[in-house]
Amino acid sequence: MAATQLSFSEIKERVNIEQVLPLVGLTLKRYQSQLRGVCPICKEGGDRAFVVTPAKGLYYCFGKCSTGGDMLSLVANVKQCSVREAAEFIAARTGITGKRSGDNSTAPGDGSPQPLSGKEGLKPLEYLQASHEAVQALGVRAETCEHFGAGFAPKGIMRGRLAIPIHDMAGTLVAYCGRAVKEETPLLILPNGFRPDTVIFSAHRLEQGDTICVTRDPLQVLKAYENGVTNVVSFLGDITADTLHILALLMDEKDVPSIDLF
């Protein structure tokens, strides 16, 4: 079949991830700009843990997978086949063998970078390594790290960890947290005197009116972002009355209609 001659990028150009969902038996519900449902791969995390962002052609699972990708990796993971086989499957089922089926204007790969206001905040650490192998081993690309200003810390108090900048709601840099890159505990270290229950990680990046996904690990925010999900934040410590108060303020200020806690 001519279909097998198509390159991965040709397929992604001509088929929308939304068209692929029914081919693998997926029915998802629309929430604003996302489609959500039970993860067909791990089936964990609840009925909104699996998020497809059609405008970006990407999916992400907040459940056990904690990973995502494009339509090819979606089909490959659901059908447990190779990416090449997934491509052939999509091409055959959508009948793309030559004729262009139309529009499919693809949105830019990632959201607009958020300039930091920077006033009176901490100075960003210059020495973080966005493409360090320990960070790649966590499943985070260098571009994602750069977007968040994160990177492997070869020195300093976050030494040997993924240092991730934390901002207040105004976007001012207030601290760095050090996320474990291996099995070490604790998962997060924070500077002495910094109260993790006073900040919600990445809250300043939320758009007005977004539903939000709240996780308990800032790494999950980076990985979700990499896979098209931008309305996601994380707690940085135990959930306390103060944390919930901050969350309530956030919901009020950003006009958040609903939240999902993962």
Instruction: Kindly list the residues in this chain that would bind Zn ion in the complex (CB under 5 A).
Output: 39, 41-42, 61, 63, 65
Q: How far is the CB of 87 from Zn ion (least distance, A)?
A: 22
Strand partners, 131: none
Report how far residue 84's alpha carbon sits from residue 73's, in angstroms, rounded to the nearest whole number: 10
Least Cβ distance, residue 224 to Zn ion (angstroms):
12
Nearer to Zn ion, 20 or 61 (CB): 61
Q: Cβ atoms within 10 A of the Cβ of 243, count? A: 20
Q: Given the complex with Zn ion, which of 44 and 242 has the nearer CB atom?
A: 44
Dihedral of CA atoms 44, 47, 49, 53 in degrees, nearest 10, equals 140
Q: How far is the CB of 43 from Zn ion (least distance, A)?
A: 7
Closer by beta carbon to Zn ion, 41 or else 58: 41
Contacts 24+ apart (CB under 8 A), 32-37: 32/210, 32/211, 34/229, 34/231
Angle between helices 71-79 and 83-94 (to 10 degrees): 100
Q: How many helices (H) and strands (E) does the chain have?
A: 8, 12
Which among 61, 60, 52 has a CA at the least distance from the CA of 17? 52
Of 11 and 51, CB closest to Zn ion: 51
> Whose Cβ is closer to Zn ion: residue 40's or residue 196's?
40
Shortest distance (Å) from residue 46 CB to Zn ion: 10
Nearer to Zn ion, 48 or 147 (CB): 48
Minimum distance from residue 61 beta carbon to Zn ion (Å): 3
Q: At its nearest, how many Å lie between Zn ion and the CB of residue 29? A: 16
Report helix, strand or coil for 59.
strand
**Contact (Cβ atoms closer than 8 angstroms) between residue 58 and residue 228:** yes
